[in-house]
Amino acid sequence: MGADEVKYWIGFSLIPGIGRAKFSLLENYFGDLGRAWHASINELKTAGLDAKSAESILTNRPRISLDAELEKLERYKVKAITWNDPAYPSRLKQIDDCPPLIYIRGSLSPED
């Protein structure tokens, strides 16, 4: 997954009330989070989000600079890994409420 897609995962992770279940819902409905990021309130509700979550996205979306978030990661040599990335730790995926996005500085070992 490229930086263009990962930035939307980062953006949604910064929005209050958007956790694992809502990430999954958005990803399943829209196919990719880029489409979900640009969705209207009606599209978000049609995807299955409650009104409060949809409003939270619309309220917070303009306040988040996706490119600035990516620049911060690059500056501090941090990598964002989504649960769809082969580098996502398999043991972490076994948790029922695994985080959709993790941040890594350095490298992961197979035991991780």
Look at residue 109 in the predicted model and tell me its pLDDT: 75
Calculate the CA dihedral of residues 42, 12, 93, 24 and round it to 10 degrees. 0
pLDDT averaged per 10 residues, the chain (length 112): 86 96 97 96 98 98 97 96 93 92 87 68
Look at residue 67 in the predicted model and tell me its pLDDT: 96
Domain ranges across the chain: 3-105
Look at residue 66 in the predicted model and tell me its pLDDT: 97
Look at residue 2 in the predicted model and tell me its pLDDT: 74
Spell out the residues 6+ positions from residue 9 whose beta carbon is closer than 8 angstroms to its own. 23, 33, 80, 82, 100, 101
Look at residue 18 in the predicted model and tell me its pLDDT: 96
For residues 83 and 27, is the Cβ–Cβ distance under 8 A?
Answer: no
For residues 11 and 74, is the Cβ–Cβ distance under 8 A?
Answer: no
